[in-house]
Amino acid sequence: MPNRRMTRRDLLFGTLAAPLLAAGPKPNILLIFADDMGWRDAGYTGSDFYETPHIDALAKQGMVFTQAYACGANCAPSRACLISGQYTPRHGIYAVGSTDRGPEKLMRMIPVPNTGNLDPKQITIAEALKAAGYATGKFGKWHLGEKDGCEAAKQGFDVDIDPRRGDPNRARNEPDDPKSIFTITRAACDFIEQNRSRPFFAYVAHHAIHVAQEARPATLASFKQKPPGKQHRNPLYAACVYDLDEGVGILLRKLASLGLEKNTLVVFTSDNGGTPQSSQEPLRGAKGCYYEGGIREPMIVRWPGVTRAGAQCDIPVANVDFYPTFVAAAGGAVPAGKILDGESLLPLFKGERSLSRSSLFWHFPGYLDSPVPRGRDPVFRTRPVSVIRKGDWKLHLYHEEWQLDGGREKLASNKAVELYNIRTDIGERNDLLSANPSKRDELLDELLAWIVKVKAPLPAKANPNYSPETKRTRI
């Protein structure tokens, strides 16, 4: 009798339908995924100190998405959303490690437990692309489990290379290969060359620029001599960004040298907002919170003949959209029974100005320690929260106040809800909760309905050990 994994793979191949694109060769797909690179951390997004010449050139060659989001505010949930094509309530990965990070006595509720690994039953983006005839390779960070069938090699990737597996954030004395940028890049280049005659999906998931930052000595020396900017001034951070950018350049040159440039869909983005080491102003917050600084990302798409050089798209998109986008571009189909929360971005690539959906959602039912710049909380990056972005509007629903302080009847005073117009207030400084009750109620009702629809788990009990008198120290 075949084992369960074989049975699932047989099912996967049996349920994919005919290609969605009728003509032309299947495009190669190269997804370059930075770690902790914030929206403001590239030259083309406005940094006054960091230098990203290759990423900036890619932005000129492709389409820049100005309102691109991660579906999680830190590493693991964002990656789980990308790989599964589903929002956090469906896969249960909300945080790295646990959802009770911080002083327990300052948590008003008992958080929903975290799931540490991506369920092997998930049919991943790699498996869907394999079924469409693609060679698949993952190079770098996985962060979704390394045993019991959760490994990338058992989740659809033919090749799985990560020189930092097991202890990715430990500082290392590797001056020629900081954060393993160049080992990861060379492995991806080898994979691309080996599969130049067939369609491939290369997922290049860097460890840069996550702490501990590292850089080549010459790069660091150069930034130590550079005059600081008004917003950014950290030489090591800048050097790590620069070396990451060099890795991007090597990949793009490899495509060009092999004659694959015209038939390769390239996406560059990041997994979550930047750390407090790097200001994201005018965005509020940083990695780990659900203000714009924690979830808005740089994102560039270059697909010659489809995207227009120098184009810009202002439609809100998210990394949960990559699964349906890549499958559609590959001429594949969504596996039978697979629920996808994203939408194909192909219409936007071709210049259309809208998608069929109206809203994006986020859900985090726990606690993350350490406050963020201009955060809501002096202790936590975030407390239990759900968020909706609809058009120009964004609403945050904080579950402690909602459940414990009177809910809708006390909205005027309990601080359970915040409402912002992101078009006019990108920094989320002006809460319009009271000024626009009709928009507040519209978004709140839609968010509550979504929570029910996806069966998003909520903290259900007050924390009996909660003690607001506990000394509030930074964790």
DSSP codes of every residue in 340-393: --S---HHHHTT----S--EEEEEE-SBEES--TT-S-SSEEE-SEEEEEETTE
d(C-alpha 299, C-alpha 315), whole Å: 12
pLDDT tens profile 276-295: 999 999 999 999 999 999 99
Neighbours of 354 (CB within 10 A): 9
pLDDT tens profile 46-89: 999 999 999 999 999 999 999 999 999 999 999 999 999 999 99
pLDDT tens profile 357-409: 999 999 999 999 999 999 999 999 999 999 999 999 999 999 999 999 999 99
- Residue 469 binned pLDDT confidence (cut-offs 50, 70, 90): confident
32 phi and psi angles, rounded to 5 deg: -105, 115
d(C-alpha 370, C-alpha 380), whole Å: 5
Instruction: Flag whether pLDDT at 14 surpasses 60.
Output: no
Instruction: Flag whether pLDDT at 13 surpasses 50.
Output: no
Nearest one of 290, 270, 248, 268 to 383, comparing CA atoms? 290
The tokens describing 169, both together, are: 């954030």
pTM, entire model: 0.95
pLDDT for position 414? 97
d(C-alpha 26, C-alpha 330), whole Å: 5
Instruction: Flag whether pLDDT at 473 surpasses 80.
Output: no
| Interval 24-28 mean pLDDT | 93
pLDDT for position 45? 98
Q: What is the mean pLDDT of the chain?
A: 94
pLDDT for position 111? 98
pLDDT for position 472? 52
pLDDT for position 23? 60
pLDDT for position 471? 60
Cis preceding linkage at 212, omega within 30: yes
The rounded percent of the chain whose pLDDT value lies above 90 is 93
- The answer to which of 21-25, 33-37, 332-336, 460-464 has the lowest mean pLDDT is 21-25
pLDDT for position 24? 79
| Interval 185-211 mean pLDDT | 98
The tokens describing 205, both together, are: 């998931």
